[in-house]
């Protein structure tokens, strides 16, 4: 059975802001590095960061519009959000795989941008959980 996690909404909002800022700063550093190593990868990094940010915005909007009923359990709520998330992740994955196949330096740059954003997202969410005492 999964443990219940309770986090303050303002802490999550701050974590999302930190994620965007942190991934942007790391992305700038990655672009500078890629300009020396593989210039087309420096174009791909912002593409990956933008795709991940856009996915996060759509997820945020979907959760904000979620209609919660008193009868709904956690399983029903996850089911309501899951299909949209899976569709967006599928499109994003196909786009990056397509770029890797068509022009590898650009595709691997985009993949690096996705990885940077997701790493920053995970770090900031864990930080928000620990700060709120939500992880036991």
If one compares 114 and 63, the residue with the highest pLDDT of the two is 114
The dihedral built from the CA positions of residue 75, 125, 88 and 111, taken in this order, carries a sign that is negative
Q: pTM (2 decimals)?
A: 0.80
Q: What is the pLDDT at residue 72? A: 66
Inside any domain, residue 3: no
Q: What is the pLDDT at residue 7? A: 52
User: What's the structural domain count of the chain?
Assistant: 1
Inside any domain, residue 118: yes
Query: Quick one: average pLDDT of 96-113?
Result: 95
At 119, the pLDDT band (50, 70, 90 cuts) reads very high
Inside any domain, residue 6: no
Mean pLDDT of the chain: 84
Which residues, 6+ apart, have CB-to-CB distance to 96 below 8 Å? 48, 51, 107, 110, 111, 114
Inside any domain, residue 22: yes
The domain in which residue 104 lies consists of: 11-132
Inside any domain, residue 2: no
Inside any domain, residue 117: yes
Inside any domain, residue 121: yes
Inside any domain, residue 4: no
At 45, the pLDDT band (50, 70, 90 cuts) reads very high
Q: What angle do CA 50, 51, 55 make, to 5 degrees?
A: 115
């Amino acid at each position: 059975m999964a443990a219940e996690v309770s986090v303050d909404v303002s802490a999550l909002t701050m974590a999302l802001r930190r994620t965007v800022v942190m991934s942007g700063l790391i992305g700038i550093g990655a672009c500078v590095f890629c300009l020396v190593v593989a210039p087309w990868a420096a174009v791909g990094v912002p593409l990956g960061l933008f795709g991940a940010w856009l996915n996060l915005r759509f997820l945020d909007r979907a959760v904000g519009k979620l209609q919660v009923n008193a009868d709904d359990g956690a399983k029903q709520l996850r089911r309501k959000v899951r299909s949209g998330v899976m569709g967006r992740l599928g499109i994003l994955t196909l786009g990056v795989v397509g770029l890797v196949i068509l022009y590898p330096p650009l595709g691997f740059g985009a993949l690096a941008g996705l990885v940077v954003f997701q790493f920053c997202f995970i770090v900031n969410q864990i930080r928000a959980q620990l700060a709120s005492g939500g992880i036991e």
